[in-house]
Structure 1
C-alpha cells in the first residue's frame, strides 16, 4: 500500500509540455461514410470514433510523423502515416475495405493490453453493440444467451435468479469484469448482472478457460469483460425504449456532453415488470415482478501526452418478488402466505489512472458495496459485501520481440450475513503479484507465458501459471493452444440460492477448501473466401480437471442439501464449432454448436469409481443468427435462436416424481428494424416465437412451507411468446 500511495503522490508532479496539433478526417468505403469506426495512433492512448457521417476529430495530438490506425467491425484494418504540425489542423480522407473477418477488432481481456483479435495469443470472442441490438433485452443475461457455449441457467423457479454457464461450468466459476475490473463480487453474481444496461455496452469480450494468472480468483471457467462506451464515442443525447405484450417496460437514456478538458457520459436504465403471469397454473408467478433503477456515469479527462484518466460510478436499486398471487408486502417474512422478496442496493466506483512517467504505469482501482435484504418465505437472508480491488500495471516492450506485463494487486473483501455459516463478519486481504511475457519467436509463432502468486489468509500461497502458443501455418489459418490453472474461494450462500429457498435443510461438512482447476484449450481459426463472399470457421477442444470442487448433493437425502469438497475429481470437457459467413449480398449467417461432457468421479463404499453427470448441462446445444438488410427500405431483419439438447435433472421421491431428463427445445426470436432518419430507428418483433415453456419448476407448490417444496427444477424458458415494440435515437455531438 505504501508503494501505491507513493505512486499517487507523483500525480502532483508537473509534466513536460508537448507541441500539439489537431487531426480531422472522414472515413469512407465504397463511396459511403463509415460510422462508429475507431481511429487512433499507434503507441498513443488517444483517438476518437467517427460519427454517423464518417467524420472524426482528434485534438491535442503530439507533433511529428505518426501512424494512424482505423478499425471497425466488418472492415479491414487501415494504417496511414500522417504528419501533425504544432498549432495546425491536418485533414485526411481514409478509404477502408469491407471484410467479414472481424479479426481486426481491438481487444484487451486476453493479455490485459490492447491488441487485435488476429494478433492475440489468447482466443477472445467479441459481442458487438450491433449484435446486442438484434433482440432487445433488459439485462446482459438475456443478451448473451445466443452465444455458442454460453448458457443462462435459472437457479430459482420463484425469484428468477440466474447465472451464466460457460462450457457447462456454473456462474460463480466465471469472472465478470466491467472495463477490465472485477466489479462483480460473489454476492452480486445472481442479481448484479441484471443491472448492466445493454445500451451502455460498446462490446463484450469472452474468454473460455481459466484466466487466474491475470485476474485471480473466480476466473476458473472464463472471463466476461463488459466494455462500456466512451463518452467521446457517443452522440450528445441517446434514448432507447421498448415494451412487450407481457407489459414489461424498459427505458435507457444517456447524455454525453463534450467539454473542453473532459468528456462525460451520464446514463440511466429503468425496468418494470408488474404483471402477474401464471400460465403453468401453479399459483406462483412464472417470472418475477421487478422494479429496477440503474444510474451510470463515466468521466474521461484530457491529459498531457494522451495519458489515461477515467472515472465511472454506478448505482443500482431493485425490488424483486416471486410468490403466490395472494401475497402482499404485509406478508413479507410471514409463514402464512408464501413470497420471496428481495431488496437490492449496489454502489460501484471504477477509476483508471496512467501515472506521469515515461514508462507505461497504470493504476486501476475499483470499489463496490452490495446490500441484500431478502426473505424467502419465512427464511431471512440479509447480507452485505464490500470489495476493494487495486491493480498497479507496468506495460513494457523490449525490442521487437518481447511484450511484457508486470503487476501487483490487492483485494479486500468484507462479507457478513445472518446465516448459521457466518458466525462473524469475514474480512480478507489477498495481495498478489503477476507477470507475463509475450515473445514473438517469428512472424508466425509466438508464446505467452505468465505466473501469478496470491496469498490468502486462510489458504496460504496460491500459484497460477499459464502458457499460450499461437501459430500461423498459413496466411488465413491460426492455431492457439492454451494451458493454465485456476482457483476459487467459495462463498456458499451468496452463490447457491437453492440453500435459501425451498424446504430442504442445508448441511455443510467441515471447512470448505478452495477449488482448483487445470485446463487446456485448442483453437483453430480459418478465414475462407468463396467467390466474392468470405467467412470464418472456429473449432475448439477443451478439457478442465477440478480438485476440491464443491458440488451440492441433492440425492443422498431428499430432505437435505449437503455441501462438501468432492472426494475425487470432476471433469468438464467437450468441443465446439462456429461458422460465420458474410455473403455477397445483404445476408449474414452465424451458427455454432457445442458438445459437453461434465461429470464428477467419486468412490463408493467398495472403493469402486462412480461417475455422476452434472445436472442442467446439455450434451448438445446450438445457436444461430440470420441477418438480412433491405437497403432501399432502410430495413434490417434479424432472426436469432438457440437449441438445447437433453440434460439430467434432479430426482424426487414419490409422489413428486418428475422427468429425470429434459426434452429437446428451441428458443427463437425475430426482430425487424426500420431506419426513419439517420439518427432514429423503430423496431418490432417477437421473442420465443414457438411459445415453448417448461412445466412448473416447483415441487409441491401447493404446500410452499411444507417439507417437500423445492424450486430448483428449472431447465428451460419460463416466459412464453411475447411481442415487443421499441424505438431508439441518438443525435448531437
Structure 2
C-alpha cells in the first residue's frame, strides 16, 4: 500500500533546515553561476549567443553533466527543478506531458531541439512524454514573452534543447545499459568524432517498459516503447564558411486508458477506465544552415532551413484518431558587431532577420469531408535586434518584430532587457519586458471530431504582455549565489473550451484579462569541497478573467537537492526533492455539480549513487519516488510509485 503523508509544510521545513540551497540537478539560473563550472554562454538569449552575465532575461541552463549526475531520464523531470515550470503528465512515462511557464498554457511555450521548432502544428504544443535526456548537452529555459525574438508560440517563454555534437581531432564512444521496475530496459549509444575541419555525432536510444495501470479501475498495465535516433555534423567548408546540419527521428508506441463518456452514464462516468488504447507516433526533425563570417567576424550572415514532420495515430475504445503535421521554416539573418571605445567603452551588435514558415495539417480520420481536407497557412516575419554594452557592466538589448499572417491579423511584438553587473559586490540586477502572440491552432480552428470537438474559425490570437525584475547576489566569496525575480503577465483573448449541446465542445476566446504574477527564487551553494547544494521556489498566482484559478498551476512549488563527490572523484551520490503544491484541475463527472477538483500537494524524493569501476566503466543505481508517494498530476490518472533502477555505463 502506498504511503501518503502531509507535504504542505515539507518544502518550507527543508528550506529552514538549510539543506536546500540545492538542486542536485546542476542548473545555471539567470541568477546563479555554477560553482564548479561556469556555463558562460546562453544560446537562446538573443538572435545570437550571449554571455550569461550579460543576459537581462530570466534564464536557466541545465547542463548535460548535471543530468548525468542526477540520473534523470526524461527532460520533463529535469524541468521540474527549474523555477516557474509546472509539469503535468497523464500517468505513465510516455503519456502526454505538458510544460507550462509562469502559469501559461503549454502551447504558449516555444520548444526547440537544435534550433528546430518541434511543436505539433495541429495542437500548437510539444508533448514532452517521449523526450529523453541521453543525447542532450544542455537545456535552456527562457522565461517571459519572447515574441519579438522567436515569433508566435513564444508567448510565455522558450525551451531550447541542444544535443551533443562531435569532437574535433578525436573520438569517443559512450554506451549504457539499464534495467529497473516494471521490466524497464534502457540502452543507448553515443558516437562522437572528427578531425580539424569536420566533426559529427550520432546517438541511438531504446527504452521500453511494461509500465503500470494508469487507471483506478482494472489491472491492465500501460507501457511505452521509444526509439530515438539523432545525428549532427559541423564542417568548416572554408575559413569563413561553416555548414551545420542535424536530423532527429523518434518512433513511439504508448499505451493509455480512456475517460468513460459512454451513454447512458455508468458508475465510472468521467473517470479514467481500463481500455486497450494506444498511440503511435513518428517524429522527424531536421535542419541545415550556412554561416558566413566576414571582416574578422564583424559581419556574420546565417541562412537556415528547418523541417518538422509529425505522424500520429491513436486507437481507443470509441474510435480512431490521428493527424499529419508538417512545418517548413526558412530564415536569413545578418549581424554587425562593432565598438566605439571612446564613448563609454561601448560595444554594439545589430541583427536583422527575415523568416518564412508554412504549416500544414491533415486529419487522418475525418468525421466529415470538410475535416479531411489538408489545411495550410503561411507566415512571414521581419526582426530587428540591437544590443549595447557600456563600461563592461551595463548590458541593454531591444528587439522588434513584425509578423505577416495569412489567416490572422498582422502583429507587432517587442522585447527589451537590461542587466547591470557590479563585480565589486557580486551583485547583478536584471530586468526584461515584452509581448507575445499565439495564433489559434489547427485543432481549434477546424476541430477533429464533429461529434466531440467542433472547430471555431472565428477565434482571434492570444496576446500576452509581461515583465520581470530580479537581483542576483553572490556571497561567501562566490560559494553561495541567490537570485530573486518578480514577474507579472497579462494575457488577452485567452482560448478555452466550453461544452455544447449533445456532449460536444468547442473553443472560444475569453472576454477580459487573464492575470499571472509571482516570485521565483533560486540558490546554489558550494558547501564543502565535493558537496554542492541547490534550491528553487516559485510562488504563482494565475487567474482567469473571472478570478478563478487556472487549472494545473500550483501556487507553491519548489525543488531541492544535494550532490556529493568522494573517493577522489570516483564516486558520487545525490538526493533530489520536488514539491508540488495543491492545484485545481477540470472534472467531467456528471453526477457532481462541480466542474473543478482540487489535487493534493505532493513531495517526490529521488536518490542514487554511482561508482567508477575503472577508467572505462561506471556502475550506478537510483530509487525514484523513494517514499512511494501517491499523487495525481492530472485528475483521474494514477502515477508511478517507488521504483528502482541499476545500470552500467562505458566510455571508450
TM-score, length-scaled by structure 2: 0.84
Provide the C-alpha distance between the structure 1 equivalents of 2:225 and 2:34, rounded to a whole number of angstroms.
43
Say whether 1:506 aligns with 2:443: no
Provide the rounded CA distance (Å) in 2 between the counterparts of 1:151 and 1:495.
27
CA contact (8 A) 1:250 1:269 kept: yes
Mapped to 1, the partners of 2:208 and 2:280 lie a distance apart of 14
Map 1:666-677 → 2, pairs under 5 A: 666-677=603-614
Which of 273, 276, 279 is the equivalent residue of 1:342?
279
Q: Which has the larger radius of gyration?
A: 1
1:381 equivalent to 2:321? Answer: yes
CA contact (8 A) 1:158 1:285 kept: no
Contact 1:676/1:682 (<8 A) preserved: yes
Partner of 1:29: none
Q: Which of 680, 683, 705 is matched with 2:620 structurally? A: 683
Equivalences for residues 450-461 of structure 1 within 5 A: 450-461=399-410
Q: Which structure has more RCO (C-alpha within 8 Å, separation ≥ 6)?
A: 2
The alpha-carbon deviation at position 443 of structure 1 amounts to 3.2
Structure 1 position 515, deviation (Å): 0.8
Displacement of 1:633 in angstroms is: 7.2
1:407 aligned to 339, 343, 353, which one?
Answer: 353
Map 1:475-624 onto structure 2 (within 5 A). Answer: 475=424, 476-491=426-441, 493=443, 505-509=452-456, 511-529=458-476, 534-553=479-498, 559-601=503-545, 610-624=546-560
Please report how far the alpha carbon of residue 99 of structure 1 lies from its aligned counterpart in structure 2 after TM superposition: 6.9
Q: Is the CA contact 2:624–2:642 (under 8 Å) kept in the aligned structure 1?
A: yes
The alpha-carbon distance between structure 1 residues 494 and 671, as it changes in their structure 2 partners (threshold 3 A), is farther
* Secondary structure in 2 matching 1:232: coil
Shift of 1:461: 1.4
Distance 1:156 1:190 in 2: 19
Point out 4+ residue stretches in structure 1 off by more than 6 angstroms: 156-159, 188-191, 494-497
Is this contact kept in 1: 2:181–2:643, CA < 8 A? yes
Residue 179 of structure 1: how far off its partner (Å): 2.1
Query: Deviation at 1:507?
Result: 4.6
In structure 1, stretches of 5+ residues that fail to align are: 1-71, 75-97, 325-335, 602-609, 698-711
- The CA distance in 1 between the partners of 2:358 and 2:215, in whole Å, is 45
Kept in 2, the 8 Å contact 1:673–1:683? The answer is yes
Task: Specify the SS of the correspondent of 1:305.
Answer: coil
1:302 alignment partner in structure 2: 236
2:249 is equivalent to residue 315 of structure 1: yes
1:139–1:196 Cα contact (<8 Å) kept? yes
1:132 counterpart residue number: 67
Tell whether the 8 Å contact from 1:189 to 1:495 is kept in structure 2 after alignment.
no
Measure the CA separation in 2 of the matches of 1:283 and 1:110: 48
Contact 1:573–1:596 (Cα < 8 Å) also in 2: yes
Name 2:98's counterpart in structure 1.
Answer: 163
- Structure 2, unaligned stretches of length 5 or more? 1-25, 259-272, 340-345
Q: Give secondary structure in 2 for the equivalent of 1:396.
A: strand
| Equivalenced residues, count | 594
In structure 1, what is the Cα distance between the partners aligned to 2:241 and 2:307? 22
* 1:606 aligned partner: none
Q: CA deviation at 1:262?
A: 2.2
Q: Tell me the alpha carbon deviations over residues 171-195 of structure 1, each in whole angstroms, 9 at most, x when there is no partner.
A: 2111111223323334587665445
CA distance in 2, matches of 1:495, 1:170: 17
SS in 2 for 1:109: helix
Give the distance between the partners of 1:190 and 1:212, measured in 2 at CA.
16
Q: Is the 8 A contact 1:235 1:730 kept in 2?
A: no
Partners of 1:466 and 1:507 lie apart in 2 by 35
Aligned to 1:728: 649
Give the counterpart of 1:226 among 132, 154, 161.
161
Correspondences of 1:6-155 after superposition (within 5 Å): 100=35, 104-155=39-90
Q: CA-to-partner distance for each residue in 1:637-657, whole Å, 9 max, x for gaps?
A: 111121111111224556468
Instruction: Find the aligned partners of 2:431 and 2:544 in 1 and give their Cα distance.
Output: 25
Q: Distance in 1 between matches of 2:230 and 2:34?
A: 34
- Between the aligned partners of 1:509 and 1:99, the Cα distance in structure 2 is 48
In the alignment, is the contact (CA less than 8 A) between 1:73 and 1:102 conserved in 2?
Answer: no
Q: For the residues of structure 1 that align with 2:92 and 2:27, how far apart are their CA atoms? A: 39
Equivalent of 2:308 in 368, 376, 381:
368
Are the structure 2 counterparts of residues 653 and 633 from structure 1 closer, same or farther at C-alpha, using a change threshold of 3 Å? closer
Q: Aligned match of 1:449 in 398, 406, 429? A: 398
